[in-house]
Structure 1
Amino acid sequence: MSTTQSERLRELLEPLVGSQGLDLEEIAVESVGRKRVLRVVVDSDTGADLDQVADVSRALSAKLDETDAMGEGEYTLEVGTPGAERELKEHRHYAGAVGGGVTYPRADGGELVARILAADDEGLDLEVPGVKGRKATARRLAYGDIAKARVQVEFNRKNQNADDAENENEEEA
């Protein structure tokens, strides 16, 4: 896809996505055999539910049908959300991930896994888990030092509110 087509699609679709209360995260046109697939990724600070994705998909389809933005020939429109292990690219992505885990590659080839404690205009306050029984440590990371970061999915993280309630019950006993 040429940059011109990408820019044109973004200019056409972004206002429509915004009118639905969502942010346009990505646009990609891929060739699959003789067909083309237009993939549109949408999200918001509070996430996007299935009904919102369906609504925006119908609106985008109607808009694309009335223009020649995709040119001649068949294409498939796919509208979705970033997914569980989304890449963090913009400040609002980091702000939305506060409290959750994040991974990013280190210069030495390793990977840092940490919890985002806060996100401001300059960077992140992280809690890096301790290794081999050591306590977790705080670390400040500037956005400029982050080449790539991804949400870390946590399947067995205890709910902080449940821990607080459990501690209160123990104190009462």
Structure 2
Amino acid sequence: MSKKVTELVEELVTPILEELNLELVDVEYVKEGKSWFLRVFIDKDTGVDIDECGQVSERLSEKLDEMDPITHNYFLEVSSPGAERPLKKEKDFQKAVGKNVYVKTYEPILDSKEFEGILKEYTGDSLIIEVKIKTRKKEITIPFEKVAKARLAVTFT
């Protein structure tokens, strides 16, 4: 059910976002404790502000009320994905080249399933990440089909 909800919400929110020159980063529909949450993450190159989140929330809420696809109570949250935004679409990975990323894989690559480092290249088929191992830097190629999760990673220097 949650996949159907997220797909429907994507369809409903896309025209709203296009009109406001915003991009859809992700949609989540999850149960936490006894409560259900419908989270819509939006962004633009200069970042989103609270007014834009409010506008999207109001307009999406109206559409959801009209269609009434979710029969039980839930909380709608519209927000920025934050500094550690997920990387989901091809353009997300292309924009992340040169930035610090965290990648988790479905199966081990070189005895590890978690990598953090600079995304050096994205080919569509694979990611090349420069990781630091003690004092040395090493480039690791990760086949794209083995990527379970990827996001930007904040570093503190």
User: Alignment RMSD, CA only?
Assistant: 2.9
Residues 96, 119 of structure 2: 8 Å contact kept: yes
Q: How many residues align?
A: 151
Q: State how far apart, in whole Å, the 2-side matches of 1:104 and 1:144 are.
A: 12
Q: Distance in 1 between matches of 2:2 and 2:150?
A: 26
Secondary structure of 1:147's match? strand
**C-alpha distance in 1, partners of 2:132/2:36?**
44
Which has the greater radius of gyration? Answer: 1
- Where does structure 2 lack aligned partners over 5 or more consecutive residues? none
More strand by share: 2
Distance 1:144 1:29 in 2: 25
Is the Cα contact below 8 Å between 1:26 and 1:42 reproduced in 2?
A: no
The answer on 1:91 being equivalent to 2:90 is yes
How much does 1:115 deviate?
Answer: 0.3
Q: Unaligned 5+ residue runs, structure 1? A: 157-173
Instruction: Give SS of 1:113's match.
Output: strand
| Residue aligning to 1:159 | none
1:53-95 deviations in Å (ceiling 9; x for gaps): 2221222123223332334x65432111222333322222212
1:137-158 deviation per Cα after TM superposition (whole angstroms, max 9, x unaligned) = 34443312423323221122xx
TM-score, length basis structure 1? 0.67
